[in-house]
């Protein structure tokens, strides 16, 4: 019994069996220990009845937490998808804005090209008129020169024919 007190057991029960005393004194006395199967069964039942409800409750709580986490993950995935769609819409809006800017640029370039086409057409007509006018003037000068040459030929004295 002194061994039990040395082992830290403060309860002093004189009815402890020798087997129990041997178990309490230390593992070196375990060789001669008799184990009552019914006592082991009852102790096991008591231990299970004491801890099992709490463990089962903890298990249910953990399962609920796991289920809630899965639901939360699904919700987060949906939110991420929504944000991605919003970003895609923003990208799409910026693409439409950019397309509108380029469309306006194309319209302006087309107007400019039409204006340039009109100007070049007018310049071609004017150049043709000028060319025709110059040709006419050149022709008139040539005709005038020929007239003057003919006139000079007529003015040149011709020797009279001897008869």
State the Cα angle at 28 between 22 and 29, rounded to 5°.
30
DSSP H or E stretch at residue 120: helix 37-155
Domain for residue 157, yes or no? no
Residue 25 sits in the same domain as residue 44? no
Residue 100 sits in the same domain as residue 27? no
The answer to whether 22 and 30 are in contact (CB under 8 A) is yes
Residue 79 sits in the same domain as residue 39? yes
Place 45 in a pLDDT band, splitting at 50, 70 and 90. Answer: very high
Residue 31's pLDDT is 62
Residue 46 sits in the same domain as residue 27? no
26-35, 52-61, 129-138: least confident range = 26-35
Residue 72 sits in the same domain as residue 103? yes
Please tell me the pTM assigned to this model.
0.41
Residue 117 sits in the same domain as residue 62? yes
Domain that holds residue 77: 35-147
């Amino acid at each position: 019994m002194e061994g039990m007190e040395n082992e830290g057991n403060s309860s002093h029960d004189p009815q402890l069996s020798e087997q129990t005393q041997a178990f309490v004194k230390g593992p070196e006395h375990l060789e001669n220990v008799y184990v009552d199967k019914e006592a082991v069964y009852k102790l096991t039942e008591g231990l299970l009845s004491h801890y099992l409800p709490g463990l089962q409750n903890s298990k249910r709580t953990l399962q609920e937490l796991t289920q809630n986490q899965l639901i939360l993950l699904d919700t987060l995935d949906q939110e991420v998808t929504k944000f991605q769609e919003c970003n895609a819409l923003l990208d799409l809006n910026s693409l439409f804005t950019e397309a509108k800017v380029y469309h306006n640029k194309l319209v302006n370039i087309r107007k400019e090209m039409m204006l340039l086409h009109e100007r070049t057409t007018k310049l071609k007509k004017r150049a043709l008129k000028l060319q025709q006018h110059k040709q006419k003037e050149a022709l008139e000068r040539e005709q005038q020169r020929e007239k003057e040459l003919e006139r000079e030929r007529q003015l040149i004295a011709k020797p009279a024919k001897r008869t």
